Structure 1
Amino acid sequence: MEQRKFISKRVIASFLSLTLCMVTFFSCTLTSTIEKKKSYLIGIDPTWYPLKLRGKDKNLEAFIKGVIKDGARFKDVQVEFVSRSWDNLLEGLERGQYDAMITTLIPRDFYANKLFFSSCFFQTGPVLVVRKSFHMPQTMQGKVIAA
């Protein structure tokens, strides 16, 4: 039960973060473009290389696609996804094969003149967040609660 509660809170936090990111993306950075264009093609690497998701890659993909579609619906635009391998994803964006990409690519300085990176909307480094008033039960002291 405790693990379900932890996972549920983590999913909700991730959902809210991604929703905020997408609303910001569609309302701030592309406002003038959105007025002209009502459909976007988004490239995505379904393996999430180099992350090791232990079979959960489809879950992450479905979650992110769902949140992006919800954000797009909020701004009355359409989005479609195209799957590309991690090593072809950036090249496809540069060639104009799609309008944006969802990636694990790290924002480096040498990308700054040609790419815009949103804020990180899904932290891949797991953390546990609890209320400040939370007290760890004695039975859990010193034990691994997630791996």
Structure 2
Amino acid sequence: MFDVKKLILLGLVVSLVAFSGCTEDQASNESSMTMTEGILVVGTDPTFPPFEEKNTDGELVGFDIDLMKALGEKMGLEIQFVEQPFDGIIPALKAEKFDCIVSAVTITDDRAKEVAFTNSYFDAAQVIAVLVDDDSVQSVDNLAGKVVAAQLGTTGEYEAQHYAEELGFEIKSYEVMADAFIDMENGRVNAVVTDDGVAQRFLDTKPGVYKVVGEPMTSESYGLAANLGNQELIDALNAALAEVKEDGTYDEIYAKWFDN
């Protein structure tokens, strides 16, 4: 089992040894694992239940939130969350608004050119949700001529765009996932393309209102993201992920949010 605190301490020792041969200016130009010592600033978009959302008291809650707090404990770091709309979350990371991202970010080749990813921590798929009494959509092929909702900047939006070109349907993009489902209830869109875990949350919240149809459109995995070149942070996050999976913490968090 990895000892994350020892890993971080070792990194600090190595840095001190390296800095001993540098001038003060050279040392100040070296990047550290986190922007602020002892604190891991984490970007998230709390509009994607059950991974990240706000409860009635305005507090951040969700699977990703609990997981990140558990990782912080393993790493010996205080976690501070910064809210950021998903379509701008990678640019904000690159602008050093935060140290890393936890926001149900799917690992893709295109994104891996811009950010560094940890090992996968969650498997997901894109699915189609419709109103329970709508039998006109049974598969992705039936989306032709429809209005389809997706969240801005997500792989759901990307997949919808891909099929829209082939099948010919309109895409309506949303900042907030809940707004897409509300608009579907009100007849403004015919279907929603989103992650299976998110779709299930809305099905559970309003039984008898929505359903998922057809086969999954994708098979994908989520990862935590940090800036390219910050391998020290990626290594520490991977070690912490391994620990929470080994000691049962991950399973406890998963059961809290997904085992009904």
TM-score normalised according to structure 2 size: 0.31
The reply to whether residue 101 of structure 1 matches residue 96 of structure 2 is no
CA shift for structure 1 position 26: 7.7
CA distance in 2, matches of 1:109, 1:25: 28
**CA deviations over 1:5-27 (Å, ceiling 9, x no partner):** xxxxxxxxxxxxxxx9xx79887
The code of the aligned residue for 2:93 comes to: L
Q: Sort the Cα spacing of 1:122 and 1:115 in 2 relative to 1 into closer, same or farther, 3 A.
A: same
The code of the aligned residue for 2:39 comes to: S
Residue aligning to 1:83: 83
CA distance in 1, matches of 2:121, 2:3: 11
Q: Sort the Cα spacing of 1:81 and 1:24 in 2 relative to 1 into closer, same or farther, 3 A.
A: farther
> Does the 8 Å CA contact 2:45/2:84 hold for their aligned counterparts?
yes
Residue aligning to 1:73: 73
> Does the 8 Å CA contact 1:43/1:84 hold for their aligned counterparts?
yes
Residue aligning to 1:46: 46
Q: Which runs of 4+ in 1 moved over 3 A?
A: 23-31, 33-36, 56-61, 110-114
CA distance in 2, matches of 1:39, 1:101: 14
State which structure, 1 or 2, has the greater radius of gyration over its C-alpha atoms. 2
Q: Sort the Cα spacing of 1:34 and 1:98 in 2 relative to 1 into closer, same or farther, 3 A.
A: closer
CA distance in 2, matches of 1:73, 1:106: 24
The code of the aligned residue for 2:124 comes to: T
> Does the 8 Å CA contact 2:5/2:76 hold for their aligned counterparts?
no
- Worse-superposed segment, 97-106 or 30-39: 30-39
RCO (CA 8 Å, sep 6+): is it higher in 1 or 2? 1
**CA deviations over 1:9-47 (Å, ceiling 9, x no partner):** xxxxxxxxxxx9xx7988769963459831011000112
Count of paired positions: 102
Write out aligned runs for 1:124-135 (5 A): 124-125=124-125
Q: Sort the Cα spacing of 1:30 and 1:123 in 2 relative to 1 into closer, same or farther, 3 A.
A: farther
Three-state SS of the structure 1 residue aligned to 2:123 is coil
Three-state SS of the structure 2 residue aligned to 1:104 is coil
Residue aligning to 2:110: 110
Q: Sort the Cα spacing of 1:111 and 1:62 in 2 relative to 1 into closer, same or farther, 3 A.
A: closer
Residue aligning to 2:146: none
Of Structure 1 and Structure 2, the greater strand share is in: 2
- Worse-superposed segment, 72-81 or 103-112: 103-112
TM-score normalised according to structure 1 size: 0.50
> Does the 8 Å CA contact 1:45/1:103 hold for their aligned counterparts?
yes
The code of the aligned residue for 1:41 comes to: V
**CA deviations over 1:30-67 (Å, ceiling 9, x no partner):** 9634598310110001123xxxx58x955894332222
CA distance in 2, matches of 1:80, 1:27: 22
The code of the aligned residue for 1:99 comes to: D
Q: Which stretches in structure 2 are left out of the alignment for 5+ residues?
A: 12-31, 126-195, 197-260
**CA deviations over 1:73-101 (Å, ceiling 9, x no partner):** 22211111111111121111011000001
> Does the 8 Å CA contact 1:43/1:81 hold for their aligned counterparts?
yes
The code of the aligned residue for 1:64 comes to: D
- Worse-superposed segment, 91-100 or 66-75: 66-75
